[in-house]
Amino acid sequence: MIFPLRLLFTSLIILISVYLTPGLYTDNLLTALGTSAVIAMVITLVKPFFLIIIHQKISLKIYGFTMLVACVFTVYLASIIFEGFVVNHFFAAFGLGVVVTGLSVVMTSMIPSE
């Protein structure tokens, strides 16, 4: 029950962030919803995997940076999948990654884990 709730909140965070971050454009609301759903799904599924790998291999200090890089990569991947979602430059994807990572940390502290 917690997974769909996290997915919904992450989608809302991304949907709002796409409209607030300069350098990111969508053709219409349907494209924005699809893009946010794909990005949220990848982030929600990849985050526990990174947490397990990094917790066992590397210091947790680098965890936030790794999630940020994964988020930026996911934004670029979503721009390839959806033609109506445009990323103008790296810093636009990086800005979205910072906003999503920061708000995800706040969301994670508010929603109990499974």
Contact present, 85 and 32 (Cβ < 8 Å): yes
Residue with the two structure tokens 């997974």: 3
pTM: 0.71
Distance CA 76, CA 67 (A): 14
Query: Strand, helix or coil at 24?
Result: strand
Q: CB–CB of 107/10 below 8 Å?
A: yes
Q: What is the pLDDT of residues 50-97, one digit of tens each?
A: 666 665 556 556 666 777 777 788 888 888 888 888 889 888 888 888
H-helix or E-strand spanning residue 65: helix 63-81
